[in-house]
């Protein structure tokens, strides 16, 4: 078990390296990875099950005790990111599938890797966890509705079918993980350190499948896709911070909201795009799986060196999900 824990820690620590490496291999030699596309939904369910195993009732406490920052953050996430994606798609004149895929990336909830980034950035960690959890629970309603409003002009959107997909690959695995943690806590505690390894393996398989299936598209439009994703991420981080600043939240809350708004659950974006729009639409989320895990640590490292003036003491408890790479 100690060997697995050590491997798991290394897998989480160098997550971006593994994702970039597997993406390059899948691009140069796609054939061995093409058969993996049928497992994307199952693998994302495994990652979400792992998230459920780490959730506790205390993670939602801030929603009841100090709901305003959570509400502001979640609203910003589901308003800023879809609209920014919509504008970028128009300004860059993206093809229909890529445009819909970028809007989809902007419409999914926050990724759990953001919790680790907020911790490293000396942000409000309980707020970050609450935002990730609440936005994920709201996704079955919010994501299909936003896509219907913003992406329907490019590709047909079936909101009910998408609602059911999110329930199946996100909500059910998370709830199952929470239930197992509640009734089998000792078993969960013994295995929790291996979750990062499982998550990393699932994510690199998802990324490799999408890259392999779109190798020719990446060769012809790779720079355009990367530009769109990088701009989307940068504007999300910036506008998220400015929104919190304009509403006079303290620095720790600004950092948490910035990172939460800027980092999406790109795994869900890949799964939904592949299932409802086609493989090309999954590319923005696949690129985001790599880029968010590069830009996030860069910003977190910068902020970690800046003093935070808090109205309340910084919660320095290390999140259970630290080093757990999820998208």
Distance CA 106, CA 13 (A): 26
Write the pLDDT tens digit of every residue in 290-316. 788 778 878 888 888 877 665 444 444
pLDDT-derived band at 175 (thresholds 50, 70, 90) equals confident
pTM, two decimal places: 0.81
Mean pLDDT of 222-250: 90
Per-residue pLDDT averaged across 281-295, rounded? 83
For residue 249, which phi and psi values (nearest 5 degrees)? -85, 155
> What is the rounded CA–CA span in Å between residue 71 and residue 78?
11
Q: Is the pLDDT of residue 322 over 60?
A: no
* Res. 168 pLDDT band, cuts 50 70 90: confident
Q: What is the C-alpha to C-alpha distance for residues 166 and 313, in angstroms, rounded to an integer?
A: 37
Are 321 and 116 a contacting pair, CB within 8 Å?
yes
Q: Mean pLDDT, to the nearest integer, of 83-108?
A: 92
Q: Is 213 helix (H, G, I), strand (E, B) or coil?
A: helix
Indicate whether 16 pLDDT > 70. no
Report the pLDDT averaged over residues 271-294. Answer: 83
The fold of 2-304 is: Na+/H+ antiporter like fold (1.20.1530)
Is pLDDT above 80 for 19?
no
User: Phi, psi (5° rounding) for residue 192?
Assistant: -60, -30
Query: Which structure tokens are listed for 311?
Result: 């109205």
Using a CB cutoff of 8 Å and minimum separation of 24, what contacts does 67-72 make?
A: 69/124, 69/127, 69/244, 69/249, 69/253, 69/256, 69/257, 70/127, 70/130, 70/131, 70/134, 72/243, 72/244, 72/247, 72/249, 72/257
247: three-class secondary structure by DSSP: coil
Using an 8 Å Cβ cutoff, are 237 and 299 in contact? yes
**Region of residue 326 (phi > 0: left; psi between -120 and 50: alpha; otherwise: beta):** beta
Q: Identify the band that residue 107 occupies on the pLDDT scale cut at 50, 70 and 90.
A: very high
Mean pLDDT of 266-294: 83
Q: Rounded mean pLDDT of the chain?
A: 81
pLDDT at residue 15 greater than cutoff 70:
no
Selection from 99, 96, 95 nearest residue 86 by Cα: 99
């Amino acid at each position: 078990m100690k060997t697995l824990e050590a491997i798991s820690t290394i897998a989480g620590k160098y997550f971006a390296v593994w994702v970039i490496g597997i993406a390059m291999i899948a691009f140069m030699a796609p054939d061995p990875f093409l058969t993996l596309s049928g497992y994307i939904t199952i693998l994302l369910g495994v990652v979400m099950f792992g998230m459920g195993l780490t959730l506790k009732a205390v993670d939602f406490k801030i929603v009841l005790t100090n709901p305003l920052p959570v509400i502001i953050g979640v609203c910003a996430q589901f308003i800023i990111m879809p609209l920014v994606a919509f504008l970028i798609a128009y300004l860059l004149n993206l093809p229909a599938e890529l445009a819909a895929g970028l809007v989809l990336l902007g419409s999914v909830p926050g990724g759990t890797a953001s919790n680790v980034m907020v911790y490293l950035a000396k942000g409000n960690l309980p707020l970050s966890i609450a935002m990730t959890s609440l936005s994920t629970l709201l996704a079955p309603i919010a994501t299909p509705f936003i896509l219907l409003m913003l992406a329907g002009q490019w590709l047909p959107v079936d909101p009910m079918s998408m609602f059911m997909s999110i329930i199946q690959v996100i909500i059910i695995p998370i709830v199952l993980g929470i239930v197992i943690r509640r009734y089998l806590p000792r078993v969960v505690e013994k295995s929790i350190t291996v979750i990062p390894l499982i998550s990393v393996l699932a994510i690199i398989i998802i990324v490799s499948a999408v890259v392999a299936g779109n190798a020719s598209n990446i060769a012809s439009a790779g720079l355009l896709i990367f530009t769109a994703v990088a701009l989307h991420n940068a504007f999300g981080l910036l506008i998220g911070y400015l929104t919190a600043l304009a509403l006079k939240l303290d620095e720790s809350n600004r950092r948490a909201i910035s990172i939460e708004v800027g980092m999406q659950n790109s795994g869900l974006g890949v799964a939904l795009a592949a299932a409802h729009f086609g493989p090309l639409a999954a590319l923005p989320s696949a690129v985001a799986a790599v880029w968010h895990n590069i830009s996030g640590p860069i910003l977190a490292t910068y902020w970690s060196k800046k003093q935070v003036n808090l109205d309340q003491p910084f919660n320095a408890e290390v999140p259970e999900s630290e080093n757990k790479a999820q998208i």
